[in-house]
Amino acid sequence: MTTTADTLRLWRSEGTAALPPQPLACIRDGAIAHVVINRPAKRNALTAQIWEALPATLRQLGEDPAIRLVVLRGAGTAAFSGGADIEEFPTVFGDAEATRRYNAAVREAQLAVEMLAKPTLAVVHGACVGGGCGLALACDLRFAAADARFGITPSKLGAAYSVPDTRRLVALVGPSRAKDILFSGRLLSAAEAAQWALVDRVFPPSALEAEAAAYAALLLANAHQSLVIAKATINAIAGLCPRPEAELDDLFEGSFQSRDFKEGYAAFMEKRRPRFE
């Protein structure tokens, strides 16, 4: 099996010879699945085909018990994604019905990321703009290279930002800063994006992959059920993915009867690392 380090070393090259030829690649590395927007020659611009493929890809990963963390990234280091492929606009926005279908595909893809029960991490090199930024915001966490840039630019195209997209943005940065981002369409540096909570951590470009891998290892060392319950509870409280409180209480109470909990406290008492399922 290709190791994470070997795979990421190849992804950082613009040739992307290690990736499958499709525009949306999925590389499994143990308990981690890397979902890669694979159009480096087009700054990983998002096509209708990519938006339509994302829900099925994420559904498969959600149903796979071997996968415990999903990482979203762009091929190469020039861009996470420069946004929607503008060359498709005459077709996807050709009339009202085509527009409805395309926008529905975008919403469904981003919702599939947001609703995935397992933790998701966006690893951002370079430009993260428009639909690419919306996709990153649908992830649980965002780690960025210090030279990354973030922007949401419908005001520069005479378009608007959808309600679900705007909800995610406001939940992260607040109403006033969301207005600044959408009104101006300007690009934010990684440092400003971190200050505004648009991204969670910023690292030197050469250190980003190692830091993301170390964080992934930290998550994988913890009990998977704990992460899944924490995500469901936080998203419900934040209003992102509402669930009945009684259902969340059942998950909470049930965790104390699980094999993972028994293993966790036994390992603590025995001063050893836990071996979670």
Instruction: State percent of the chain over pLDDT 90.
Output: 78
pLDDT of 54-88, one tens digit each? 999 999 999 999 999 999 999 999 999 999 999 99
The token pair at 28 is 């499994």
Band of the pLDDT at 239, cuts 50, 70, 90?
confident
Mean pLDDT value of segment 31-48: 96
Q: What is the DSSP string of 58-101?
A: HHHHHH-TT--EEEEEESSSSEEE--B-GGGHHHHTSSHHHHHH
- Residue 15, pLDDT score: 45
pLDDT at 14 over 50: no
Most confident of 2-11, 164-173, 266-275: 164-173
- Residue 268, pLDDT score: 83
* Distance from C-alpha of 50 to C-alpha of 55, rounded to nearest angstrom: 10
**Beta partners for 141?**
121
Least confident of 58-72, 76-90, 201-215, 246-260: 246-260
Give the angle 19-73-129 at the CA atoms, nearest 5°.
Answer: 125
Is 0.85 topped by the overall pTM? yes
* Distance from C-alpha of 200 to C-alpha of 197, rounded to nearest angstrom: 6
Band of the pLDDT at 17, cuts 50, 70, 90?
low
CATH numeric code, 4-220: 3.90.226.10
pLDDT at 1 over 70: no
